[in-house]
Amino acid sequence: MKKIKNGHIWKPVICGMFFIVFVAAIYILFCHNKKIETIQQNFSAEDFKHVQNLVYRKKLGNGDAKFYDEHWIMTSVNGKLRIISIDGKQEKEYEDVNVNWFTVEQGDKTVVYSNARKEVGILRLDDDMNVITNNIIYHAEDLPIDPSIIKIGGEYFITVTYINGAVNNSDKDTDNGVYTIKLYASADLENFECIGDVLSDKKNLEDIVPFYREGKYYLFFEREEIDKGASSLEVTESGDNGVSWSEPIKLCALSADNELGNVLFDNNCFALFFSSDYLNPGTSYDGASIFVSYFDEEFHPLQTNKKIAAYYGGGVAV
């Protein structure tokens, strides 16, 4: 049996009839080596419309979704893993892979996932998208959601957010559960050490995006007051591979439902891609637009809330 020492993990996304993916921001997930301005120029409104139409045409009723690479979209449909080619002509279902939340390590394509069964797993696929390994590494007591994974040197760092108590509470007068982000490390993806807690709060801690640069390990995340309510986008950093963490810095104010997409660094600045109902307060996904904000290396704002796409009626979300 796989071992995690002193462990725990996290949460489900609540979907409507179908979930429109914030494609522009997720597209950035496999573009870490491309320059920010190149991505903005190359990812046109037509590209955005193409992938949204793919999601509409399929009417998947899906939850979490990420680009696996430039050819495949990976998503969860009714708690099962499904992969769809960008052109919509190929599709693979994995009935034995129970997934509600997941992240793809962009270097070697290792997938870390969690599900409503309170399992955390590691998945690897070959070049033909067949399963090489699918191992459950942990059975949690609390609900594990929004796992993240990043490889630093020869070691993998995985976060899982555990929810103890109410999940996705939407009533400000009702107690929320306690959300705790825990960090694990592994050299072989079989044996894991729990490094400790990154953050804990009685607010929704979601959409974790890991980032590493020049000896610093960053975690970008959303902190939400209530489900689909006002949320801030924040960052915390560690200079000792997760043993200690800085006080979080707010990058996006608590003024709208902000959903984190991804983060890039180029030309000495961070670019934060996110969806938000900033222009249509209170509408959440249904009135969201896609924005990018720029920050210097110390996270001082350079330019904020620059709109790069919008989709009304069907909704935009990360």
**Could you report the per-residue pLDDT of 120-176, keeping only the tens digit for each?**
999 999 999 999 999 999 999 999 999 999 999 999 999 999 999 988 777 777 888
Residue pair 285/317 in contact by the 8 Å Cβ criterion: yes
Q: Which residue has the higher pLDDT, 50 or 294?
A: 294
pLDDT value, residue 271: 93
**CATH architecture of the region 3-310:** 6 Propeller (2.120)
Rg (CA), the chain: 18
Tokens for 119, please give them.
Answer: 């399992």
Residue 28 has pLDDT above 80, yes or no: no
Evaluate the CA torsion angle 210, 145, 21, 293 in order and state its sign: negative
Average pLDDT over residues 257-264: 88
Which pLDDT score is estimated for 26? 46
- At residue 117, does pLDDT exceed 80? yes
Position with higher pLDDT, 111 vs 166: 111
Which pLDDT tens digit goes with each residue over 30-85?
Answer: 444 445 454 444 444 555 555 455 544 455 556 788 888 888 889 998 899 999 88
The predicted-structure confidence for 179-208, as pLDDT tens digits, reads as follows 999 999 999 999 999 999 999 999 999 999
Give the residue extent of every domain in the chain: 3-310
In this prediction, residue 86 carries a pLDDT of 79
For residues 99 and 92, what is the distance between their CA atoms, to the nearest angstrom? 14
Residues whose CB falls within 8 Å of the CB of residue 13, separated by 6 or more in sequence, listed in order: 19, 63, 64, 100, 101
pLDDT at 7 over 60: no
pTM equals 0.83
- What's the average model confidence in pLDDT over 92-98? 95
